[in-house]
Amino acid sequence: MPADPAAVLPADARAAFRAGLVTPTSGWSRGYAQVNVLSIPREQAFDLLLFAQRNPKPCPVLGVLEPGETSGPLLAGGDIRTDVPKYTVYHDGVLVDEPADVSAHWRDDLVTFLFGCSFTFEAALQDGGVRIAHLDQGVNVPMYRTNRQAAPAGAMAGPLVVSMRPVPAAQVADAVRITSRYPAVHGAPVHVGDPEELGVDLRSPDFGDAVRIPEGHLPVFWACGVTPQAAVMQSRPPLAIGHAPGHMLITDARDSDYLVP
Amino acid sequence: MPADPAAVLPADARAAFRAGLVTPTSGWSRGYAQVNVLSIPREQAFDLLLFAQRNPKPCPVLGVLEPGETSGPLLAGGDIRTDVPKYTVYHDGVLVDEPADVSAHWRDDLVTFLFGCSFTFEAALQDGGVRIAHLDQGVNVPMYRTNRQAAPAGAMAGPLVVSMRPVPAAQVADAVRITSRYPAVHGAPVHVGDPEELGVDLRSPDFGDAVRIPEGHLPVFWACGVTPQAAVMQSRPPLAIGHAPGHMLITDARDSDYLVP
């Protein structure tokens, strides 16, 4: 384990994971974009790409590796089968393995989607003076299935999944302004302040951990990258490979590459 | 032919074309978005959708009709096989027919892409006081294959195709500002002022007509929706159906729906 993971360059981080290091990637390679990984057979890939096109806030596509490709410009010199610290492997939508290397599961018809991750905008929020409650409380961000359906595409359908971060009332506008400048990583919030309208019970996240909402804070909801994963699993493809929660692919793209004016 | 095509609502325009009227759609249904139409078999559709994702300026996807779908929210109550005034039909990349109705050519595995069209931003330019030279000169917009390759995807590859409009030097900034607010219809220009760098001879357009560049005007180049069509034809799919040049699908979406702040 490096002394200062934040200072490790992406290619070196990927090499460490390839060599066998298994660790969550939060805090690694500061300034570089980490992404959600989802590999599915080409037969299902058109539906997922169309689902992403129709739901850009929860499914921001930062890159696609075509069938047979195991590397690409976002992971120069890397290998998508080994460079994520920990994977999840699903058969027919059921989790069957959580290996540190998926070479044994790989098929040449797999298409790999790289979706933007909220780590990028959380760094921007912190730089803008907005504290991140789940980091302060030392837990995972809470995520909820909402009562809203994402726009379906072919076999892909499912609820909009959101992440929630409590924000002080006086900083809600800042949080909206800052994240709206990162449309490639979920962008502006989809909802502010009323969990009931989304069909969400804040005490019972569907993924991650509940966080305490400090006095004077509002719950703010962003579209979440679990949305495409939930839709894919619901469609029960014969094989799907993802990253294990919190164990992301660290790319060579800088967070600032995704900042718009 | 209606007395005032600009005042015809989109559903009525589509009904007129369905009933047999064949006419270019420039000037029809003012304020409503017209789109490029391209239908290809599902087998080729993933590559085209990925090509569009990688080349959003020339290939802005405003809608996709899934295999078997012949209507959708952009053409409520309509039928994509009959509602375009004139079509082009290609077998293995070769033009074989230009009918007013493609029902006889239709296959249930066709996926239809609706790409944004520059008519939308030309209206905005005119509203912003920028004259459109090819309209003043009564010709088609000139389009050029450039020496730049679009980002390839699977079987889809080809040059970036651009359209050119001369703009007075004092209005170039206005033209950039106005069109950059319409990212869904090609957005800001890709190049200003130097055709040679793009490998373009202004006198010899690859599509459309040459326009005279008035004194004090600069040639301004925008990414063009012919780019995906050129890439698809180069890949020689067994069947492809498009609109005939200038004979677009008129949708129920308003131009203003695609305006960003």
CATH no. of A5-117+231-258: 3.40.1640.10
Q: Closest Cα to residue B158, out of B60, B49, B59, B231?
A: B231
Give A167-189 pLDDT, tens digit per residue: 999 999 999 999 999 988 999 99
Query: What are the pLDDT digits (tens) for A74-122?
Result: 999 999 999 999 999 999 999 999 999 999 999 999 999 999 998 888 9
The pair of structure tokens assigned to B154 is 């699977």
Closest CA to A116 of A41, A197, A198, A55: A55
What's the rounded Cα separation, in Å, for the pair A204 and A70? 38
Q: Could you report the per-residue pLDDT of B32-79, keeping only the tens digit for each?
A: 999 999 999 999 999 999 999 999 999 999 999 999 899 999 999 999
| Cβ neighbours of B154 in A, within 8 Å | 66-67
Q: What is the mean pLDDT of chain A?
A: 94
User: Is residue A139 predicted with pLDDT exceeding 90?
Assistant: no
Please tell me the total number of residues recorded for chain B in this structure: 261
- Pick among 3.40.1640.10, 3.10.400.10, 1.10.1240.10, 3.10.310.50: CATH of B5-117+232-258: 3.40.1640.10
Rounded to the nearest angstrom, the minimum Cα separation between B67 and chain A is: 9
Q: Name the CATH topology of A119-228.
A: PSTPO5379-like fold (3.30.2040)
Of B42, B54, B61, the CB nearest to A46: B42
* Nearest of A137, A215, A104 to residue A170 by alpha carbon: A215
Contact B125, B175 (CB under 8 A): yes
CB spacing of B66 vs A42 below 8 angstroms: no
- Amino acid B56: pLDDT: 93
Contact B30, B236 (CB under 8 A): no
B153 and A66 within 8 Å at the Cβ level: the answer is: yes
CB < 8 Å from A in window 59-88 of B? 61, 64, 66
Chain A interface test: which of B40, B42, B46 (most A C-beta within 10 Å): B46
For residue A261, pLDDT beyond 80: no
Identify the CA nearest to A10 among candidates A257, A184, A259, A260: A257
- Each residue of A193-227: pLDDT tens digit? 999 999 999 999 999 899 999 999 999 999 999 99
Residues from chain B contacting residue A64 (CB–CB below 8 Å): 50, 53-54, 153
Interface of B with A in 88-117 (CB under 8 A): 111
Tell me whether residues A154 and B53 touch, CB distance under 8 A: no
Mean of the pLDDT values across residues A116-137? Answer: 90
Could you give the CA distance from residue A168 to residue A189 in angstroms, rounded to a whole number?
15
Q: Are A186 and A223 in contact (CB under 8 A)?
A: yes
Interface A–B counts its CB contacts (< 8 A) at 32
Which chain B residue's Cα is nearest to A47?
B46
Q: Contact B42/A45, CB-based, under 8 Å?
A: no
CB of A180 within 8 Å of a chain B CB? The answer is: no
Residues 30-59 of B with CB under 8 A from A: 42, 45-46, 49-50, 53-54
CA dihedral B97, B103, B108, B114 (to 10 degrees): 70
Domain boundaries of chain A, sorted by first residue: 5-117+231-258, 119-228
Tens digits of pLDDT across chain B (261 residues) = 889 999 999 999 999 999 999 999 988 999 999 999 999 999 999 999 999 999 999 999 999 999 989 999 999 999 999 999 999 999 999 999 999 999 999 999 999 999 999 888 898 999 999 999 998 888 889 999 999 999 999 999 999 999 999 999 999 999 999 999 998 899 999 999 999 999 999 999 999 899 999 999 999 999 999 999 999 999 999 999 999 988 999 999 999 998 887
* ipTM of this predicted structure: 0.84
Of B229, B245, B239, nearest in space to B22 by CA: B245
B5-117+232-258 against B119-228: fold identical:
no
pLDDT of residue A1: 82
